[in-house]
């Protein structure tokens, strides 16, 4: 699926919706078209504004609902940790983040390999870089352990 909102990609999207039991509504299609036609990572209000040009009566909450729904189905993603509360970081040195997708915990790590990494040219083409850090998403050891336990001992209903 290219990021252009072409007929092909919209057809593919419609198919993916039906596959998941999601109805293919005009609103949903237009919301997706707008989202997929830009790489500015718009927020819900921006998407709403743009969709309104085609569907003047569409409501903001329909946009929210659809973006969230599509995100839940993996048809699009929420950028970074956006939308969560403000989180603060008193570690002022260069470091990277490991974010647990289960519990939301963010842990720092440092890496000499990464520190030595030159900034890719593709990024330099976009502007003057000031800092860079790697965002790793995954499942932290604590959550991993929890899930292991569930698998290993499903006969106990300790995790009702």
Of 59-98, binders to DNA (CB under 7 A) are: 59-62, 64-66, 68-69, 83, 85-86
Q: Which of 2, 7, 57, 74 is close enough to bind DNA by CB under 7 A?
A: 57
For residue 25, the 8-state DSSP code is: -
Look at residues 18, 40, 154, 57 and name the one whose alpha carbon lies nearest to residue 30.
Answer: 57
> Could you tell me the smallest distance in angstroms from the CB atom of residue 42 to a second copy?
7
Distance of alpha carbon 46 from alpha carbon 43, whole angstroms:
5
Measured distance CA(79)–CA(67) in Å, rounded: 12
User: Is the Cβ of residue 48 or residue 140 nearer to DNA in the bound state?
Assistant: 48
Using CB atoms within 10 A of its CB, is residue 96 exposed (0-12), middle (13-18) or buried (19+)? middle
Cα distance between residue 4 and residue 37, in whole Å: 5
11 is an interface residue for a second copy by CB under 8 A: no
User: Exactly one of 10, 29, 47, 58 binds a second copy (CB under 8 A); which one?
Assistant: 47
Q: Which range touches a second copy (CB under 8 A), out of 18-26, 48-56, 115-123, 152-160?
A: 115-123
Which of 40, 56, 152, 160 touches a second copy (CB under 8 A)?
40
């Amino acid at each position: 699926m290219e990021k252009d909102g072409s007929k092909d990609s919209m057809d593919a999207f419609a198919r993916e919706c039906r596959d998941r039991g999601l109805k293919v509504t005009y609103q949903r299609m237009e919301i997706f078209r707008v989202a997929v036609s830009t790489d500015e990572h718009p927020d819900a209000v921006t998407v709403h504004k743009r969709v309104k040009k085609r569907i003047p009566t569409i409501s903001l909450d329909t946009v929210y609902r659809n973006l969230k729904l599509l995100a839940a189905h993996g048809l699009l993603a929420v950028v970074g940790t956006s939308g969560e509360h403000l989180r603060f970081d008193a570690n002022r040195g260069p470091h990277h983040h490991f974010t647990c997708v289960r519990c939301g915990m963010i842990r720092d790590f440092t890496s000499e390999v990464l520190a030595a990494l030159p900034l890719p040219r593709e990024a330099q083409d976009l502007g003057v870089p000031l800092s860079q850090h790697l965002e790793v998403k995954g499942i932290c050891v604590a959550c991993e352990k929890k899930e292991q336990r569930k698998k290993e001992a499903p006969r106990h209903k300790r995790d009702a």
